[in-house]
């Protein structure tokens, strides 16, 4: 199976986009303030892809692969098991769970590139939108999985899809400080002017997060490279 993105907790739990407030609303003066406060949970995700949903939960009677759904198997990177399910019922390829997630979306959310490639080869629709408007691209961008982001972009997905949480793939990549994802999205023409529900453009978001996490001696902090990637794109455009 593929390695996890740098946002995943040690226990395998991952938080993904959903319908929640993107960040606190700020006035123009507050945004201009040098000590701008940005919530660390800028995108307050209420949709949590838990170990239980993924099929990793520890129980008295551990789950076997045979007992897992195709969505859970996709999230775990079990290509052969996913293939076995599809051989019995091809309609599972586009099946959506209670959240509207397809097997492809689960694989994208957990960085399972081999499963993503397999499902795309089988004809999975990468443009499917979940109940709260999450997309496979949004989930992959949020997790920092640039190889999956690039694969999805090659399949013609909407690069600027906007979910009910007020975020685009680019905004999620910036939020996670996933520089390679930011660069990949910008290289394919991601719109840098789209703002989150609370009024942050990708550039403003990177600046705000940099102020939040950096020391006075290091303006930009951990988001400095993200800012540089956005700046380089602006230079090329002009």
Where exactly are the structural domains of the chain?
A: 14-237
Give the integer Cα–Cα distance in Å for 135 and 153: 12
**DSSP output for 77-102:** T-HHHHHHHHHH-GGGGG---TTS--
In this prediction, residue 11 has a pLDDT band, given cuts at 50, 70 and 90, of very low
Q: What is the DSSP letter of 65?
A: G
**Is the pLDDT confidence value at 234 over 60?**
no
**Is the pLDDT confidence value at 237 over 80?**
no
Distances (CA, A) of 77 to 40, 55, 117, 155: 30, 12, 11, 21
pLDDT, tens digit (0-9, with 9 covering 90-100), for 79-106: 999 999 999 999 999 999 999 999 999 9
CATH architecture of 14-237: Alpha Horseshoe (1.25)
pLDDT, tens digit (0-9, with 9 covering 90-100), for 15-47: 344 433 333 233 344 443 433 344 444 444 434
Give the integer Cα–Cα distance in Å for 13 and 48: 8
User: What is the pLDDT, as a whole number, of residue 207?
Assistant: 87
Give the integer Cα–Cα distance in Å for 5 and 17: 15
pLDDT, tens digit (0-9, with 9 covering 90-100), for 182-219: 999 999 999 999 998 889 999 999 888 875 544 444 44
SS3 of residue 175 by DSSP = helix
In this prediction, residue 13 has a pLDDT band, given cuts at 50, 70 and 90, of very low
**Is the pLDDT confidence value at 6 over 50?**
no
Q: How far is CA 234 from the centre of its chain?
A: 23
């Amino acid at each position: 199976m593929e390695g996890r993105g740098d946002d995943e907790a040690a226990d395998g739990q991952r938080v993904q986009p959903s319908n929640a407030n993107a960040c606190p609303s700020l006035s123009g003066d507050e945004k201009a303030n040098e000590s701008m406060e940005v919530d660390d949970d800028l995108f307050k995700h209420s949709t949590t892809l838990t170990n239980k949903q993924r099929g990793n939960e520890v129980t008295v009677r551990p789950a076997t692969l045979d007992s897992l759904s195709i969505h859970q198997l996709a999230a775990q990177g079990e290509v052969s098991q996913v293939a076995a399910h599809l051989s019995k019922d091809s309609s599972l390829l586009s099946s959506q769970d209670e959240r509207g997630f397809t097997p492809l979306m689960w694989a994208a959310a957990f960085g399972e590139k081999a499963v993503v490639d397999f499902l795309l080869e089988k004809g999975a629709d990468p443009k499917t939108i979940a109940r709260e408007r999450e997309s496979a691209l949004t989930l992959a961008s949020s997790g920092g999985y640039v190889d999956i982001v690039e694969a999805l972009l090659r399949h013609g997905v909407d690069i600027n899809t906007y979910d009910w949480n007020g975020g685009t793939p680019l905004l999620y990549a910036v939020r996670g400080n996933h520089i390679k994802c930011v660069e990949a999205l910008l290289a394919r023409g991601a719109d840098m002017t789209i703002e989150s529900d609370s009024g942050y453009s990708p550039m403003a978001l990177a600046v705000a997060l940099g102020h939040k996490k950096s020391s006075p001696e290091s303006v930009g902090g951990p988001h400095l490279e993200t800012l540089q990637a956005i700046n380089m794109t602006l230079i090329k455009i002009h």
